[in-house]
Amino acid sequence: MPAATTVAGVAPREKARGSAESATHVEVEGRRLRISNLQKVLYPATGFTKGHVVDYYARIGPTMVPHLSGRPLTMVRLPDGIDGERFFEKRCPGHRPDWVPTVPLDAGSSIQSCAIEEVPALVWTANLAALELHTPQARADDPEHPTAMVFDLDPGAPADVTDCADVALRLRDLLDQLGLRCVVKTSGSKGIHLSVPLAPVADADTTKAFALALGRVLEDRDPDHVTVTMAKEQRANRVFVDWSQNDRHKTTVCAYSLRATPRPGVSTPIDWDEVEEIAGGARELAEHSPAEVLERVEEWGDFYADSLDEDQELPALSG
């Protein structure tokens, strides 16, 4: 894949002069940014460059920003690409543009995290080589009450994504019996994520306990193939229903985020027909490329849009 030299949705300005690194100034939706090292390869296996990263986030931004908005951001930065050092950055860099707002990492925290409220801010994070973007389940203005309950389905070998898809369907049906709808996306790696949109009423301890209870129902029904046990040595040939992602202090990779995988994977929203085909063996869980994700959104819209609804409450669990 050739190195990117242009960025969609970005109006190029003059190149920086007298700079030791290759840089240019661009305009994104009226915001002026300095973008550097566009030709730098961040995914060596495919030649995917920083320019490609910036281009992807500029294009997916209108769809992705609503999923980031109002939440403290955790960036996974890989300035030398996926083969180099990576670090999690929760504190918003001091050199941020003044139009990138900050929010407390948590109630009472002295750490101020970036808040991504517009596409130019997303492009700015891409220029930091923040390949992965993670958010908590609660918004910054109400950190006590999550707006979603999430499940991370992780296969323990030799279980695979087919098994994950099967468990995802069982979990969807269980939620449906409780009057709860959910959406689904790939993790961008080997797992599947489910999100149940909620009104910010219950606290994180409640959603975590609820998720564990549902996981235990599935485990009790099929203990040979489903587990809620965290110990990896006990997950062989089982799908781990990770309920702990609902902990108040945990984050989950955002829908449409790139992943720091050998090939530039994306945490991709999918629809339930696709999940059924995967579970039935009619298709594989695709590792969607950034280009494919953009095509999917253009053709079908945002399969994860319902995760932004806040019109459900958890029912009381009996027993």
> What does the domain layout of the chain look like in residue ranges?
11-135, 148-308
What pLDDT does 318 receive?
Answer: 67
| Full-model pTM | 0.93
pLDDT above 70 covers a percentage of the chain that reads 92
Alpha-carbon distance of 266 to 66, in angstroms, equals: 17
Res 11 pLDDT > 80: no
Residue pair 1/36 in contact (Cβ under 8 Å)? The answer is no
Tokens of 38: 């566009």
Domain 11-135 CATH superfamily:
DNA primase, PRIM domain (3.90.920.10)
- Do the strands 239-242 and 226-227 form a parallel or antiparallel pair, or are they unpaired? parallel
CATH 3.40.50.1980 for domain 148-308, yes or no, is no
pLDDT, tens only, 166-217: 999 999 999 999 999 999 999 998 899 999 999 999 999 999 999 999 999 9
Alpha-carbon distance of 92 to 15, in angstroms, equals: 26
What pLDDT does 19 receive?
Answer: 44
Res 119 pLDDT > 80: yes
Res 161 pLDDT > 70: yes
